[in-house]
Amino acid sequence: MENPNLLPGHGAFQQSVHIQSYRSVFLEDGDSLIALRLYHNTFKLAARLGFLAAESRRINLPFPCSHHDQRQREVCEWREALWLLWNSPEAQFLARAQESLPLFLQEILWQTSLLYHTSLIFSYTSLWPGQCLGPGAAPQEEVRHHAAAIFSIAESVMAQSKENCWRSVTFPVFLAGSVTSSSDLKVIALDMLSRLEVREIGRNATSIRYLFQVVYERQMQQSQGVGHPGSADWMEILAEHGLSLVASA
């Protein structure tokens, strides 16, 4: 049975920027309201995905089956809703104006973008056991695209945000490195987690870097037989080792 602690909670995506305080301080700022609304709507969709993931992992039925057919339809509807949200005029405006926005708004957009790409890559790879290899598995180019986007955003956060915001990138980087088949991207993930470990106060990054090494080594071993790096389910690997991943803000 799956360990429910392996499913990331809402805190896995939250930075230490206090978004509710922005709502009160910058209530009259149109750009702030647009950014907060995009974050709010993205977070609601991410929470919906979390419930789908928890239910899929809890039931843990063999694939294919009618349960997975229903889940796949729900996930497709979820992805369409997320796509429509991020292709709305407001989201496109923020994307074009991002570099000219104040740093606090850029941080909100980085957080929201991390949530967007992390949710999508999770939906393509980690909703149920064997998803990466089953019918309807996402093309590796799609996974690579979102993984590369996560690393790019994480670099921006680490370069310009305060160190107490860095922990927001640890789970997205862990997930991107764990599910991509690209050895180059896995090396990038390990390097970023190692840098986070050096600079972060506390042991969150240290623990996640260790968990990633466990997953990475197992995936490399499996790729020498059948499959590719990233095809082994990271949740199942951690569960086999009696390990859990609890990401915190």
Give pLDDT tens digits for 108-156.
999 999 999 999 999 998 887 777 766 667 788 999 999 999 999 999 9
Would you kindly state where each structural domain of the chain is located, as residue ranges?
31-56+63-138, 162-224
pLDDT category of residue 160 using cuts at 50, 70 and 90: confident
Confidence (pLDDT) at 61: 54
Q: Where are the alpha helices (DSSP H) in the chain?
A: 19-25, 30-59, 66-86, 89-97, 103-125, 140-160, 170-179, 183-199, 204-223, 234-240
Highest mean pLDDT among 9-13, 195-199, 213-217, 241-245: 213-217
* 17 Cβ contact list (under 8 Å, min separation 6): 104, 107, 108, 111, 165
Highest mean pLDDT among 18-27, 128-137, 189-198: 189-198
pLDDT category of residue 30 using cuts at 50, 70 and 90: confident
Predicted TM-score (pTM) of this structure:
0.81
Helix (H, G, I), strand (E, B) or coil at 123: helix
